[in-house]
């Protein structure tokens, strides 16, 4: 055995038990009662007092390479991921150029394989013309398709309804779920123009420019087209109770519709616009109460399927611009997800550790059909494991994070609980808060 993790409290959606976990090569080979003499590892980790989760999968990151390497790269983005206990990331297509042809998908995967610390999958773009979607889907290089129904970083537009119907039909045929950035373009553009005309430049004006109705309207559009085509869909970064209600209406009508929520939409309140200003600008915006408590309840009871970070870093000098209209939307998140969910979810009692394992790993693997090797701690599966210390104290500081641009609206937040080891396909990539392997171990997930 290459690696033996002893006395870990293994937590999955089904419960928890203390086990020894044996790893040989890249796979789990035994999960057994502790102390079985037959189990020996070349390397051993004593995990007494620690919890083991199925390796975290962040289903929504923007790692910016190719084209925007000043914001993030595969090396720095996956470095932040493994430092935060994440073993697989699914990366978004609004790079430069966007991931909208087979050649561009292949070259992004090749770039990632050069320097990734963790495993990865990529989304292909359904762009305004809808071109190349069939070839992309057929290529087998993607975990899903993505389209932007509203304006956001990259300025990429979705096709009209006919084009979307064609893309959804292709998605259905090739087993690719289509992810929607769900904000209605017309509502957002009209609201933003009206607010700008008043002379407002404060951070709260961004929230007002993107009302919950914009999200609900876009989800209704997506739901209607999914219903017509029978295709599977996914709502990215759900931010409002109204959006959640729209998701539920389309599910009740028979649509296969999954959805995700980010730590910032779950946990931040409106005062963040005073404390963090433009750093908190993100699409869709953080709305605070009562939306955030509705999202927490829905994550806990299963109406929301999973958590994803929407890790979307920008240069500090741009995030700190005076006028909110000049500030780009998005901020980092892949490294802070786990400590935040442990502190403000598990320790506060509304999120069980079992549900955390489900929403940060098992469900993500299920939604994107990452195959029998991801999102499960079972003999034969990829040995992806996140070891956590529930008592480990921390404070979120940009200077201590491992991405390229680390401004966060959670700056200064005290946390309790963090990853202390990140194991990717059998290799310990992070151990005791330090990188333990050279970059380049990460591989594309095989669906
Ligand atoms: C994302 C980005 O910067 O790439 N920004 C954001 O505010 N969420 C794009 C996106 O996912 O909308
Ligand atoms: Zn988005």
Distance 188 CA to ligand 2 centre (A): 14
pLDDT of residue 249: 98
Around ligand 1, the residues with Cβ closer than 6 Å are: 62, 94, 152-153, 181, 282-283, 310, 312, 329-330
Distance 416 CA to ligand 1 centre (A): 28
pLDDT of residue 446: 84
What proportion of the chain, given as a percentage, has pLDDT over 90?
Answer: 98
Closest-lying ligand 1 atom to the alpha carbon of residue 236: 11
pLDDT of residue 37: 66
Q: How confident is the model at residue 218 (pLDDT cuts 50, 70, 90)?
A: very high
- If one counts every other C-beta atom within 10 angstroms of the C-beta of residue 390, the result is 16
* 309 or 371, which is more confident: 309
For residue range 349-392, what is the model confidence (pLDDT) as tens digits? Answer: 999 999 999 999 999 999 999 999 999 999 999 999 999 999 99
For residue range 8-63, what is the model confidence (pLDDT) as tens digits? Answer: 999 999 999 999 999 999 999 999 999 876 788 899 999 999 999 999 999 999 99
C-alpha angle 352/247/272, rounded to 5°?
A: 60
* Residue among 59, 60, 61, 62 whose CB has most ligand 1 atoms within 8 A, to mutate: 62
**Mean per-residue pLDDT, 394-419:** 98
Distance 330 CA to ligand 1 centre (A): 5
Structure tokens at 8: 């870990």
Active site residue 119: no
Q: Note the ligand closest to the C-alpha atom of 71.
A: 1
Residue 1 has pLDDT above 90, yes or no: no
Average pLDDT, the chain: 98
Residue 189 has pLDDT above 70, yes or no: yes
**Mean per-residue pLDDT, 99-117:** 98
For residue range 131-172, what is the model confidence (pLDDT) as tens digits? Answer: 999 999 999 999 999 999 999 999 999 999 999 999 999 999
Report d(CA 374, CA 446) in Å as an integer.
9
| Secondary structure of the chain in HEC code, one letter for each residue | CCEEEEEEEEEECCEEEEEEEEEECCEEEEEECCCCCCCCCCEEEECCCCEEEECEEEEEECCCCCCCCCCCCHHHHHHHHHHCCEEEEEECCCCCCCCCCHHHHHHHHHHHHHHCCCEEEEEEECCCCCCCHHHHHHHCCCCEEEEECCCCCCCCCCCCHHHHHHHHHHHHHHCCCEEEECCCHHHHHHHHHHHHHCCCCCCHHHHHHCCHHHHHHHHHHHHHHHHHHCCCEEECCCCCHHHHHHHHHHHHCCCCEEEEECHHHHHCCCCHHHHCHHHHCCCCCCCCCCHHHHHHHHHHHCCCCEECCCECCCCHHHHCCCCHHHCCCCCCCCCCHHHHHHHHHHCCCCCCHHHHHHHHHHHHHHHCCCCCCCCCCCCCCECCEEEEEEEEEEECCHHHCCCCCCCCCCCCCEEEEEEEEEEECCEEEEECCEECCCCCCCCECCC
């Amino acid at each position: 055995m290459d690696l033996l993790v002893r006395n870990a409290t293994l937590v999955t959606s089904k419960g928890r038990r203390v086990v020894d976990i044996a790893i040989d090569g890249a796979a789990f080979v035994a999960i057994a009662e502790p102390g079985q003499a037959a189990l020996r590892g070349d390397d051993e980790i004593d995990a007494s007092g620690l919890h083991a989760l199925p390796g975290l999968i962040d289903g929504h990151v923007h790692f910016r390479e190719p084209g925007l390497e000043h914001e993030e790269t595969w090396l720095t983005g996956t470095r932040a991921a493994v430092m935060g206990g994440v073993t697989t990331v699914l990366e978004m297509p609004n790079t430069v150029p966007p991931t909208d042809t087979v050649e561009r998908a292949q070259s992004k995967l090749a770039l990632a394989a050069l320097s990734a610390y963790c495993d990865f999958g990529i989304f292909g773009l359904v762009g305004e013309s809808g071109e190349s979607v069939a070839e992309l889907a057929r290529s087998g290089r993607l975990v899903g398709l993505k389209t932007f129904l509203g304006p956001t970083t990259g300025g990429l537009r979705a096709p009209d309804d006919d084009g979307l119907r064609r893309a959804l039909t292709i998605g259905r045929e090739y087993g690719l779920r289509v992810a929607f950035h769900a904000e209605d373009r017309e509502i957002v553009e009209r609201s933003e123009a009206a607010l700008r005309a008043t002379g407002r430049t404060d951070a709260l004006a961004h929230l007002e420019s993107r009302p919950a109705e914009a999200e609900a309207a876009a989800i209704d559009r997506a739901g209607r087209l999914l219903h017509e085509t029978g295709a599977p869909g996914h709502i990215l970064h759900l931010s409002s109770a109204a959006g959640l209600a729209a998701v539920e209406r389309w599910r009740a009508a028979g649509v296969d519709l999954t959805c995700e929520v980010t730590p910032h939409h779950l946990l931040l309140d409106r005062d963040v616009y005073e404390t963090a200003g433009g750093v908190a600008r993100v699409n869709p915006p953080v709305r605070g109460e009562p939306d955030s408590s509705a999202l927490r309840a829905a994550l806990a009871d299963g109406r929301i399927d999973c958590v994803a970070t929407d890790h979307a870093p920008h240069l500090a000098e741009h995030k700190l611009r005076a006028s909110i209209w000049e500030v780009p939307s998005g901020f980092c998140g892949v490294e802070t997800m786990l400590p935040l969910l442990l502190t403000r979810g598990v320790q506060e009692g509304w999120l069980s550790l079992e549900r955390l394992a489900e929403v940060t790993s098992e469900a993500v693997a299920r939604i994107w059909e990452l195959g029998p090797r991801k999102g499960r701690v079972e003999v034969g599966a990829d040995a992806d494991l996140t070891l956590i210390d529930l008592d480990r104290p921390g404070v979120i500081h940009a200077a201590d994070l491992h991405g390229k641009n680390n401004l966060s609206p959670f700056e200064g937040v005290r946390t309790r609980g963090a990853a202390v080891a990140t194991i990717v396909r059998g290799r310990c990539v992070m151990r005791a808060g330090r990188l333990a392997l050279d970059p380049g171990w990460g591989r594309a997930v095989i669906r």
